[in-house]
Chain A
Amino acid sequence: MIFLENVHFAYDGLYTALRGVSLQIDEGELIAIVGSNGAGKTTLVKHLNGLLRPDLGRVILDGVDTKHNSVAELAREIGLVMQNPDHQLFLDSVEREVLFGLENLGYSKVEAKERCERTLNNLGLEGLSERSPFTLSGGERKRVALASVLATEPRVLSLDEPTIGQDARQKENLAKMLGELNKKGKAVIVVTHDIEFVIENFPRTVAMADGRIVADGPTNSVLSNNEVLERCSLTRPQLTEAARCLHNVFPEVPERLTLIDDLEAVVVKILGGG
């Protein structure tokens, strides 16, 4: 559906952020982009909806180069939630913030209201609809920014660090919503440092370093590759670390475990149960 073809980009023509990135995103995919600070992850997602344009290379949507499409046109298809909610929020109530995008896309008042309510409920913001976003906590503002884009249900949803400031429950709610959108055939692309969130929810992971993609494949294999972890400034999640330590003593424990149910099962087996 979207194809980034050998995209190069430098800020002000000086600070090189992308050095030849090619990435194909198909309908209904759940993709996580990981990598160190300054690897080019945010720059990459800003190319999807035309906020940034490649210096070299192309961004192709449904087989057509998007270089002549405006950001407004692309925003109908591709929703982007930026890392800092304060760069996005500007209205004086949570509800108006969410309705704004819906009404701009031409939804009727009734439909917009209905979608707005549903999204606020799903993100645990139902009691806050009359509040000004600027009186909310950092985590709540982040969810308002997410709600304003999620409510429009674009074909491609790209979220930059959506889990910052979110507790475990909010992360679960967000994952559930993304899962539901995904079932409707939407593609979801998340830029994140939250490795556990990636492992639990995203089958495909793209790892970046120095403006290049250094690995792209099934999440389990990308995130258990020590060389990739090192190059992309990632750390091993606690479960994988536990599995590795156990493996050293009990060779029957697979070294590359990432899911808690699996680890529980092997430990129970070691201890003589199950």
Chain B
Amino acid sequence: MPLIEFADFSFKYLGADSLALRKVDLNIEEGEYVVLTGPSGCGKTTLCRAINGLVPQFHRGYIAGNVIVDGKNTREHNVAELAPIAGLVFQQPENQLVTLNVEREIAFGPENLGVERKEIRRRVEELIDMLDLEHLREKHPHEMSGGEQQRVAMAATLALKPKVLVADEPTSNLDPQSAVTILDLIADLNRRDMTVVLVEHRLDLVSKDASRVVLMDKGSIVADGEPREVLSMDLCQEIGVGIPKATQIYKRLKQRGFNLDKVPLTGAELATLVQEVKQR
């Protein structure tokens, strides 16, 4: 059984005149790292919200089809029941932080779910260690940088021990080095068996770690497969998705009759592939 299943799912926001999601069929298995991308307004955020029931329970609208998360239909289970399964992280961490210090923030979710004190203590310490938050322990969220706030927001989300981390452009307000720190952390969580769904425009930073890229356009899924396969499709440029520069060079070389052995996703990969062809 897939961990997340969208079955012929459509959604229209109240007051909108077109569908935000249009007959989406999507299965995500445990342990996958899925990057969700597509043009602005294509339905990526709506899809994330549908995973933990925020759509349609908080964001109201018209719904058809079903979303089943860990065996639970999101029509029948409320957000509080789904939150321990699907943990969401958003673009603006400050919108997500509710308490005055790091320990309280991480403990807040499990406390609300009635987790035992000793277990909460253990999770707090584990996450402070894992996300490198020790030096922030006594700090107010407003005294932290954007990258630090986002790490705290992630820790608070992970404290619920979710089965899947759903992150909607978690790095778009961060400077490049802080972004890389967060994305490395997400890749590391995935290596420890966490299922990840990440919305991201900057494919040059994430496609090397992902196991799968799902491309959306106008509310529908238009491509779905291995990163190297999906990102080398002409469809990406046709719908306005920016592919990594290394992949662009690969495509341009191919047009000129030079074939590299595989599709590069990073600058270093491109350099190695060029070297291999040259040495032949």
Q: Do residues B40 and A137 form an inter-chain contact, with CB atoms below 8 A?
A: yes
| Separation of A196 and B202 alpha carbons in the complex (Å) | 10
Instruction: Flag whether A217 is at the interface (Cβ < 8 A).
Output: no
B167-196 CB mask vs A (1 if < 8 Å, else 0) is 001001111111110000000000000000
Chain B 223-244 interface residues, beta-carbon cutoff 8 Å to A: 237, 239-242, 244
**Contact A167/B241 with A242-B249, A260-B248, A264-B252 known, Cβ cut-off 8 Å:** yes
Q: Do residues B242 and A167 form an inter-chain contact, with CB atoms below 8 A?
A: yes
Chain A 222-246 interface residues, beta-carbon cutoff 8 Å to B: 232-235, 237-246
Of the residues B45, B174, B271, contact of A242 by C-beta under 8 Å = B271
Q: Do residues B175 and A241 form an inter-chain contact, with CB atoms below 8 A?
A: no
Task: Please name the residue on chain A nearest to B275 by beta carbon.
Answer: A249
Query: 6 new A-B pairs (CB below 8 Å) besides A166-B40, A271-B253?
Result: A136-B41, A137-B41, A165-B40, A242-B246, A242-B271, A245-B272
Task: Please name the residue on chain B nearest to A266 by beta carbon.
Answer: B274
Chain B 28-73 interface residues, beta-carbon cutoff 8 Å to A: 38-41, 45
Residue of A165, A166, A196, A249 with most chain B CB atoms under a 10 A cut-off = A165
Q: Do residues A138 and B13 form an inter-chain contact, with CB atoms below 8 A?
A: no
| Separation of A190 and B103 alpha carbons in the complex (Å) | 37
Instruction: Flag whether A211 is at the interface (Cβ < 8 A).
Output: no
| Separation of A81 and B175 alpha carbons in the complex (Å) | 19
Task: Please name the residue on chain B nearest to A263 by beta carbon.
Answer: B249
Q: Do residues A271 and B278 form an inter-chain contact, with CB atoms below 8 A?
A: yes
User: Which chain B residues have a beta carbon within 8 Å of chain A's beta carbons?
Assistant: 13, 15-17, 38-41, 45, 91-92, 145-147, 169, 172-180, 201, 204, 237, 239-242, 244-246, 248-249, 252-253, 256-258, 266-268, 270-272, 274-275, 277-278
Residues of B within 8 A of A245 (CB): 267-268, 270-272
Q: Do residues B249 and A135 form an inter-chain contact, with CB atoms below 8 A?
A: no
Task: Please name the residue on chain A nearest to B258 by beta carbon.
Answer: A271
Residue of A131, A232, A235, A267 with most chain B CB atoms under a 10 A cut-off = A267
- A25-33, A34-42, A48-56, A108-116: which lies at the B interface? A34-42
Q: Do residues A260 and B174 form an inter-chain contact, with CB atoms below 8 A?
A: no
Task: Please name the residue on chain A nearest to B244 by beta carbon.
Answer: A238
Name the distance in Å between B227's Cβ and chain A's nearest Cβ.
Answer: 14
Residues of A within 8 A of B201 (CB): 165-168
